[in-house]
C-alpha cells in the first residue's frame, strides 16, 4: 500500500546511500489509490499534500485499530475503531480553528469548530507583503451578508452576522499555503507577490485563543516553491536538516546545500513551521 511505499521512500532518503532518491514507486502505488495523480500532468502541490496526509492518516489509524483489537475484547475493539480519529499524522499536523459568529440582529454568539492540516492564507498585496500580513488578513473579522447570511437559531431566520476565526489548538507542525492562484477581473492568474517570511520566532499568539495552551512560537523547517504559471510550472523544495541545521535545495535529481539567505524566495508556495 502507499503508506508502506512512503515508509520505504523515507528510509531510503535517510540511509544516505544515494545522491538522490526517486519517489517513482510511491507515486505509482499512490496513483492507483488516487487516479487523478497517476497521470503525468500538472497538479497542485497543496492538493497532493492533503491527499498524502489523509492517506497516511487512514493507514496509521487502521494499524492502531488492529493493535487495539488484538488486546481488547471484540466489542471494545469495534468501539475503538469507530471512535478513534487519531494517528501520528493528526498528532503532528492537525490543528483546530474556532469561528466565533455573532448575529447582528439579536447579538447571539455561537462557536463553530473546524479542524485543519493546512491553512490557506490570502495574499493581500500585489507586490510585497509579509507572512504576518497574510495572517492578519486571514484572521481579520468579516461580515456575512446577502448569500452568506447565517441561519440564526435564536432569531429563527437568515441574518447578517460577523465572524472571527482563532486557533484553539495549535499543531506541532503548521503548514501555510500561500494562495498564489487567484481570480482577478474574471481571469484566474498566479500572484507573483514577494512574501517575506521569518526563519524563526514566528509568534502566532495574536491569533490563538486564550484557552489554547500550546506553544505559539515556530521556526521554519521547509519550503515548497512553484516556478511558472497556471499552465506550466516546476516545483522545488528547501528543507532544513534536523541535526546539522543546514538548508538543502531539492530540484529533481539535484540535491545541493544552500546558504540560509537563499531560503527566502519569491516562489514560495507552501511553508512548513
* pLDDT tens figures, 11-45: 999 998 999 999 999 999 999 999 999 877 889 99
The answer on pLDDT for 76 being more than 50 is no
Report yes or no on 11 lying in a domain.
yes
| 1, three cell numbers | 500500500
| pLDDT one-digit tens code per residue, 212-261 | 776 789 999 999 999 998 878 999 999 999 999 999 999 999 999 999 99
- Residue 38 — φ and ψ, nearest 5°? -80, -25
Q: What does the pLDDT read at residue 77? A: 35
143, 161 in Cβ contact below 8 A? yes
Q: What does the pLDDT read at residue 186? A: 74
Q: What does the pLDDT read at residue 78? A: 35
**What does the radius of gyration of the chain's CA atoms come to, in whole angstroms?**
21
Query: What's the mean pLDDT in 175-199?
Result: 89
Report yes or no on 13 lying in a domain.
yes
Instruction: Quickly list H helices, 185-249.
Output: none
Q: Which residue range forms the structural domain that includes residue 5?
A: 1-69+85-93
pTM: 0.89
Residues 77, 219: Cα–Cα separation, whole Å: 39
Instruction: Give the DSSP letter of residue 231.
Output: S
Residues 267, 94: Cα–Cα separation, whole Å: 25
Q: What does the pLDDT read at residue 62? A: 65
More confident residue, 70 or 2: 2
Report yes or no on 233 lying in a domain.
no
- Residue 7 — φ and ψ, nearest 5°? -60, -40
Q: What whole-number percentage of the chain has pLDDT above 70?
A: 91
Report yes or no on 35 lying in a domain.
yes
* Confidence band, pLDDT 50/70/90 cuts, at residue 5: very high
252, 237 in Cβ contact below 8 A? no
Q: Domain count of the chain?
A: 1
Report yes or no on 7 lying in a domain.
yes
Report yes or no on 26 lying in a domain.
yes
Report yes or no on 62 lying in a domain.
yes
Q: What does the pLDDT read at residue 74? A: 46
| 223, three cell numbers | 519550503
Report yes or no on 28 lying in a domain.
yes
167, 95 in Cβ contact below 8 A? yes
Instruction: Give the DSSP letter of residue 205.
Output: G
Residues 219, 273: Cα–Cα separation, whole Å: 5
| pLDDT one-digit tens code per residue, 79-126 | 333 335 899 999 999 999 999 999 999 999 999 999 999 999 999 998
How does strand 150-152 pair with strand 217-218? Answer: unpaired
Amino acid at each position: 500500500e502507499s503508506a508502506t511505499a512512503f515508509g520505504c521512500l523515507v528510509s531510503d532518503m535517510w540511509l544516505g546511500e544515494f545522491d538522490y532518491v526517486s519517489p517513482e514507486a510511491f507515486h505509482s502505488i499512490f496513483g492507483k489509490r488516487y487516479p487523478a495523480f497517476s497521470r503525468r500532468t500538472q497538479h497542485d502541490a497543496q492538493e497532493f499534500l492533503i491527499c498524502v496526509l489523509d492517506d497516511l492518516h487512514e493507514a496509521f489509524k487502521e494499524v492502531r485499530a488492529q493493535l487495539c483489537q488484538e488486546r481488547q475484547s471484540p466489542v471494545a475493539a469495534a468501539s475503538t475503531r469507530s471512535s478513534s480519529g487519531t494517528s501520528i499524522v493528526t498528532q503532528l499536523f492537525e490543528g483546530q480553528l474556532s469561528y466565533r459568529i455573532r448575529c447582528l440582529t439579536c447579538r447571539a454568539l455561537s462557536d463553530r469548530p473546524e479542524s485543519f492540516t493546512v491553512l490557506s492564507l490570502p495574499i493581500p498585496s500585489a507586490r510585497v507583503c509579509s507572512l504576518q500580513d497574510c495572517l492578519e488578513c486571514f484572521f481579520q473579522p468579516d461580515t456575512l451578508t446577502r448569500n452568506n447570511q447565517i441561519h440564526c437559531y435564536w432569531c429563527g431566520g437568515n441574518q447578517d452576522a460577523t465572524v472571527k476565526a482563532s486557533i484553539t489548538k495549535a499543531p506541532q507542525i503548521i503548514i501555510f499555503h500561500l494562495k498564489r492562484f487567484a481570480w482577478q477581473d474574471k481571469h484566474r492568474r498566479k500572484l507573483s507577490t514577494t512574501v517575506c517570511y521569518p526563519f524563526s520566532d514566528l509568534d502566532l499568539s495574536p491569533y490563538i485563543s486564550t484557552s489554547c495552551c500550546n506553544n505559539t512560537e515556530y521556526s521554519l523547517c521547509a519550503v515548497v516553491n512553484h516556478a511558472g504559471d497556471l499552465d506550466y510550472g516546476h516545483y522545488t523544495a528547501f528543507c532544513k536538516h534536523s541535526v546539522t541545521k543546514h538548508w538543502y535545495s531539492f530540484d529533481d535529481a539535484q540535491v545541493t546545500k544552500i546558504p540560509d539567505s537563499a531560503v527566502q524566495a519569491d516562489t514560495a508556495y507552501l511553508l512548513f513551521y
